Amino acid sequence: MVGIVSYGAYIPHSRIKTDEIALTWIKSGEEVKAALGVFEKSVPAYDEDAVTLAYEAARQSLAIFKGKFVDIDVVLVGSESHPYAVNPTATIVGDILGIGNTYLAADLEFACKGGTAGIQLIAGLIAKQQFTFGLAIGTDTAQSKPHDQLEYASAAASGALLLGSKRVAVELVDFCSFSSDTPDFWRRDGMKYPLHAGRFTGEPAYFTHVQGAARMLLNKTGISVGVVDYCLFHMPNGKFPREVAKRLGFVPKQLESGLTVSQIGNPYSASTFVGLANILDRAIPGQTIFMVSYGSGAGSDAFLWKVTPEVKRLQTERKKARILVQDFLNNKTYINYIQYLKQTHKL
């Protein structure tokens, strides 16, 4: 059995309301909220970047891991806001964590699904008994140009999954991927902010790939949507995951526990990680989780997870340490637009 041995998630405490951004640009906050399904978003502090966020999530996962840090063999970090173009985030995180030197480290980039690609790579290495434990991390301080539509949702957060084959809390039953050259969102080297193709990001991009990966996994596993306890999809806004769930035959009850987008926005590579952590904070043994990520460019990774009795220990430890996702959702301080510019654009 290969799967999640421990997990962590981190959300910065600063928040800016959609109404505050809309007011700055003389827009209707109610119209924006109705269009995107995002009411506020998380904002990194002035001294927070993708590395510090990744460390916080990884530290959580290791704090409740009953083992030695030096037993970790792999650290893979998915992000589209790595602070260095040349100098890996993975080794910085590994060094701060103190896991030694005998580990494989790499940074992954595939827009919002770099982290989930890391899950697949680590799972394969563990299944082949090449390694024992590995950290897959999704972390982002999402960039957006002022007055761009992305500004209402681009957010900051991180998530970390410690994968292994001993004391597995969530079994990885199966996974698959669906990819194509569909450039709906991009940022060329040297450009400060990403560009996007507007409505093109919906049908030929997000929906085609998420549905493609989801249906492939349903066929591969033979499982029906009706027997799945939770479903989770990448959350670029509040509407897309609800729409794709409906198209695939899932009902709102299966989706709601993983939906964090209305409260924190879209933290890119961390989106499905945070949603999964929120589900795992309340899941019970025997339940199944159907998860599909999405990254522009474009591709989706689909996973089927099954919760084991070991999850109860993790939930108890996380509750004691006050590091449940709900704790981070509740711990927030609202800032105005000027503060937001200072913190995100380092003014």
Catalytic residue check, 80: yes
pLDDT of residue 96: 96
**Active-site position among 112, 176, 209, 231:** 112
Average pLDDT over residues 164-168: 95
Catalytic residue check, 234: yes
pLDDT of residue 260: 98
Average pLDDT over residues 251-255: 98
Count of residues making up the chain: 347
**Active-site position among 56, 80, 151, 310:** 80
**Confidence band for 194, pLDDT divided at 50, 70 and 90:** confident
pLDDT of residue 324: 98
Given CA atoms 151, 119, 281, 293 in this order, what sign does their dihedral have? positive
Q: How far apart are CA 106 and CA 188, in angstroms?
A: 21
Inform me whether the pLDDT recorded for 246 exceeds 90: yes
Q: How far apart are CA 337 and CA 345, in angstroms?
A: 12
Residue 226 neighbours by CB distance under 10 Å: 9
Q: What is the mean pLDDT of the chain?
A: 95
pLDDT of residue 105: 98
**Confidence band for 203, pLDDT divided at 50, 70 and 90:** confident
Ranking 125-139, 176-190, 244-258, 310-324 by mean pLDDT, the lowest is 176-190
pLDDT of residue 200: 62
Catalytic residue check, 231: no
pTM of the predicted protein model: 0.96
Q: How far apart are CA 231 and CA 252, in angstroms?
A: 9
Q: How far apart are CA 91 and CA 19, in angstroms?
A: 39
Inform me whether the pLDDT recorded for 189 exceeds 80: no
What contacts 68, CB < 8 A, 6 or more positions away?
A: none
**Confidence band for 90, pLDDT divided at 50, 70 and 90:** very high
Ranking 242-251, 305-314, 338-347 by mean pLDDT, the lowest is 338-347
pLDDT of residue 199: 63
Inform me whether the pLDDT recorded for 201 exceeds 80: no
Inform me whether the pLDDT recorded for 205 exceeds 70: yes
pLDDT of residue 202: 67
Look up tokens 């997870």; give the residue. 305
CB 39 within 8 A of CB 33: yes
pLDDT of residue 198: 64
The percent of residues in the chain predicted with pLDDT above 90, rounded, is 88
Full set of structural domains in the chain with CATH: 3-170+310-345 (3.40.47.10), 173-307 (3.40.47.10)
